[in-house]
Amino acid sequence: MIGGVPLSLADFSLDDLEREFSAWGFRPSHAARVLRSHYASGGELADNPTRRFPAGLLEKIRSEFPPLSAPALAARQVADDGTAKLLLRLGDARTVETVLMPDFRPDRAAGCVSSQVGCAMGCDFCATTKTGFERNLTAGEIVAQFLALRREAHAAGRKLQTLVFMGMGEPLLNLDAVLAAVERIADNRLGALGWRQITISTVGIVPGIDTLTATKLNFHLAVSLHAPDDATRAELLPMGKRFPIADILAAADRFQASRGRPVTIQYCLLKGVNDTPVHAHTLAATLGARRMHVNLLRYNPTGLSLRGRTYERSSDETADAFAAILREHKIVAHFRRSRGKDIDAACGQLRERVIAAR
Ligand code: SF4
């Protein structure tokens, strides 16, 4: 969507496409079938051999939305572990990253989508924020990433099973578009993913978490804490100065109480910065008796940070000791598998490299 003009089918909600079909003189009920087929094929537009679309409908769609207007592949990296990072060029020539991660099951994969071009949050260990914030993505551009990942998964003989909003950008600062995209991706009339297969991740925008809670939609929530106390967090995440951990966790408590399922706490281990036994005990005390799950992330180095620091990955021994302390405190802690170490694995790195090469 540029200047309010739809560029592809991904820009349409089911209701909008039904209205469009009516205006073209076709029955609105064809809209669900067309979108379902479009989503199932990963963004193709083909007739259904068993129940064909009415004469002229596909031609009309093709003439209104030329396929070249969907985001184009600007770069693609595939790691030895099968992780595929795609850089998509949008209609205005800006680029976003989207990632397919193979599951341990040989026929499944998870996707990670971006919600903004760049990011304004300034997390000091993150590559995305180094190129600054450019603009919010539209719902259609988010759905288009999902479709590109589905295609990529099909080509690798896998099914795209889950989707996380953990790519470039802060989803809760582009909430209308993120929710519109999630509603389309999770709509069972369109045969895409179920609600519970979608996770929205935030750096901790308290009013945004409360808005998610109020939606009653049944996705998962992940909160990127990355530090056990406000002072350490403010060093790493400028947003930490605006929203104290206690307020973020209180908002996460409200979300969890409304859904009855654990919120995930994301914690990226950084050598000597937030990974010591003291940090682990402090994190356990901060979380207290909450039934939240801690997802420990292994850092993929991104070079010199905005503040001139160079962060390093914690050693395996340090990471294991950190997890053991959390478990001693009866906290469920998992490691998220580190992906794509032989490519530009960190969020924003591939885009940063392509921009620098121009
Ligand atoms: S970690 Fe996420 S929220 Fe923080 S700067 Fe990077 S993209 Fe933005």
Nearest 5 degrees, angle CA 80-CA 112-CA 166?
Answer: 120
Q: Tell me the pLDDT tens digit for each residue of 148-204.
A: 999 999 999 999 999 999 999 999 999 999 999 999 999 888 877 888 899 999 999
User: What secondary structure letter does DSSP report for 185?
Assistant: H
Cβ(325)–Cβ(279) below 8 Å:
no
Is the CB of 128 within 6 Å of ligand 1?
Answer: yes
Cβ(110)–Cβ(118) below 8 Å:
no
Q: Tell me the pLDDT tens digit for each residue of 118-158.
A: 999 999 999 888 888 999 999 999 999 999 999 999 999 99
Angle between helix 277-287 and helix 245-259 axes, rounded to 10 deg: 50
More reliable by pLDDT, 340 or 198: 198
Residue whose CA is at the smallest distance from ligand 1 atom 4: 123
Is the CB of 121 within 6 Å of ligand 1?
Answer: yes
Cβ-Cβ contacts under 8 Å for 2 (sequence gap 6 or more) = 91, 92
Nearest 5 degrees, angle CA 170-CA 348-CA 176?
Answer: 25
Supply the mean pLDDT for the chain. Answer: 89
Structural domains in the chain, sorted by start: 9-67 (no CATH), 71-357 (3.20.20.70)
**Polymer length in residues for the chain:** 358
Q: If you measure from the C-alpha of residue 95 to the centroid of ligand 1, how many angstroms do you get, rounded to a whole number?
A: 16
Residues of the chain with pLDDT > 70: what percent?
Answer: 89
Give the Cα separation of 98 and 73 in Å (integer): 11
Residue 131 confidence (pLDDT): 83
Cβ(178)–Cβ(48) below 8 Å:
no
Q: Tell me the pLDDT tens digit for each residue of 273-322.
A: 999 999 999 999 999 999 999 999 999 888 888 889 999 999 999 999 99
Is the CB of 203 within 6 Å of ligand 1?
Answer: yes
Would you say residue 356 has pLDDT above 80? no
DSSP-derived pairing of the beta strands 108-112 and 116-118 = unpaired
Residue 327 confidence (pLDDT): 97
Would you say residue 354 has pLDDT above 90? no
3-state secondary structure of 87: strand
Q: Tell me the pLDDT tens digit for each residue of 256-267.
A: 999 999 999 999
More reliable by pLDDT, 18 or 63: 18
Cβ(248)–Cβ(204) below 8 Å:
yes
- The single-letter code of the amino acid at 97 is E
Residue 49 confidence (pLDDT): 64
DSSP secondary structure, 258-281, as one string? HH-SPPEEEEEEBTTTT-SHHHHH
